[in-house]
Amino acid sequence: MPELQETAAEIATLYADHANLRAAVDSLGINMCLIDEHARILWVNDTWRRFAIANGGDPNACQEGGDYLASIPAAPQDIELAIHRQELLALLSGQRSSLEFEYACHSDEERRWFLAHFRAFRANGRLRVLVVHENITARKLAEEARERATRTLLQLQRAWVPGAEVDRIAHDLNNLLTVITGNIELARRTNPRPAEDLLVAAHDGCRRARELVQQLAPHPQHRATASSIDLAQVADEILRMVRATMPATLQVRPQIQSVRVHAVPSQMHQVLLNLVTNARQAMRDCGTLTITLDRCGSSARLRVEDTGPGIDPAVRPHIFEPFVTTKAPGQGTGLGLAIVQAIVLDHGGSVEVASEPGRGAQFTVLLPVAADAAS
């Protein structure tokens, strides 16, 4: 009968398409199955069957009609898997539409990890869940290797700390001594009375240098401690130190408000001195330096802006990394901004940079206000 022959041909085509689809799915090397709302397996690919048999699993549990939940323990021998079982039950009851988790499947010969995906959908009004178990062993081994490399790097960095500390101190001492020598040199060329302010600035520089050296003290009780300080006083001292040595072609625009923070005074001097020194060097002998200090919510906001050439976009993401510098060889160590960030983070704050080529740079430091100024 022609109609029966046509029907048989259509059925044969459907079976062929089904076989092609199964072959395509198996070629992915991913374990896949389809389950109903009772966790009964409606379809499972050959990749999953082969995996279960190779790992000592029950072949009958990985067949159409098998119970998918039989592969997940109900008792909490593995607490994480027991939790995932409850999550899957919630998905099967329609309380959620998807689920994803990682799990280990180790043997005596090798270690393996899988990522399980569950996606619920409805077909002809019935709940169905597509289950995919993806082998992520290569990714997990790579993550372990990266973690080992990170730990090794941290160990190397700890071993490098003493040398880095010396470099940091040398860098900041150089900034302070530049201010000191510049003020003293100008004092020698002026009349006695105008020289007083210059010598005061030199004295402040010496005092800050002494506090900086104390940070190398081997006993913590000899080191500077944090206290509630007015950042405006720090800014005034820094301005007094650097102003006298600036050429007339460099303008300074301070916009300073009184804001108290809980900080180590000498370290706040380091932060501002480094930012101001960088800004001055970026502008060379012509431009405008703007220093702004105000309160922004629960933070003290310190902003140092210059009208220099700006920062190369390729360098900007790395500007706070040690030994990254925009200065010519021999003119900078690349430690100043790394020191600024380290100090600010240690005080629970943040520092950001904004810059465009040809339009200068702006560094913004946010620090929590002191408890006695929080209200």
**129 and 152 share a domain?**
no
> Residue 275 sits in which domain range?
142-373
Residue 223 has pLDDT above 70, yes or no: no
Following DSSP, what letter does each residue of 266-309 receive, concatenated?
HHHHHHHHHHHHHHHHHHTTSEEEEEEEEEETTEEEEEEEE-SS
The reply to whether 162 and 110 lie within a common domain is: no
Predicted confidence (pLDDT) at residue 282 exceeds the cutoff of 50:
yes
The model's pLDDT over 161-182, given as tens digits with 9 standing for 90+, comes to 555 555 566 666 667 667 776 6
Query: Of 110, 135, 160, which one is at a domain's C-terminal end?
Result: 135
Domain match, 42 and 151 both: no
* CB proximity list for 333: less than 8 A, separation 6 or greater: 167, 170, 171, 323, 325
Which of 91, 114, 135 is at the close of a domain? 135
Q: Please tell me whether residues 232 and 337 are part of one structural domain.
A: yes
pLDDT in tens, 101-134: 887 777 777 788 888 888 888 888 888 888 888 8
- Domain boundary, last residue among 102, 117, 135: 135
* Residues 126 and 271 both lie in one domain: no
Domain tally for the chain?
A: 2
Q: Is the pLDDT confidence value at 219 over 80?
A: no
Environment class of 268 (CB within 10 Å of its CB; exposed 0-12, middle 13-18, buried 19+): buried
Same domain, 7 and 105: yes
**302 token code pair:** 């310190």
Q: With 60 as the cut, is the pLDDT of residue 7 above it?
A: no
Neighbouring residues of 82: CB distance < 8 A, sequence distance ≥ 6:
73, 74, 75, 76
Residues 214 and 335 in one domain: yes
Task: Answer yes or no: is pLDDT of 4 > 60.
Answer: no
Q: Looking at the structure, tell me whether residues 279 and 183 fall in a common domain.
A: yes
Q: pTM for the whole thing? A: 0.47
The CATH number of the domain holding residue 327 is 3.30.565.10
DSSP 8-class letter at 370: P
H runs (alpha helix) in 112-191: 137-188
Answer yes or no: do 285 and 213 share one domain: yes
User: Rounded distance, CA 196 to CA 144, Å?
Assistant: 63
Q: Are residues 367 and 226 in the same domain?
A: yes
Q: Do 127 and 173 share a domain, yes or no?
A: no
Are 32 and 175 within one domain?
Answer: no
69-96 mean pLDDT: 73
CATH number (domain holding residue 106): 3.30.450.20
**In the predicted structure, residue 232 carries a pLDDT above the cut 50:** yes
What does the alpha-carbon distance between residue 334 and residue 171 come to, in Å, rounded to a whole number?
9
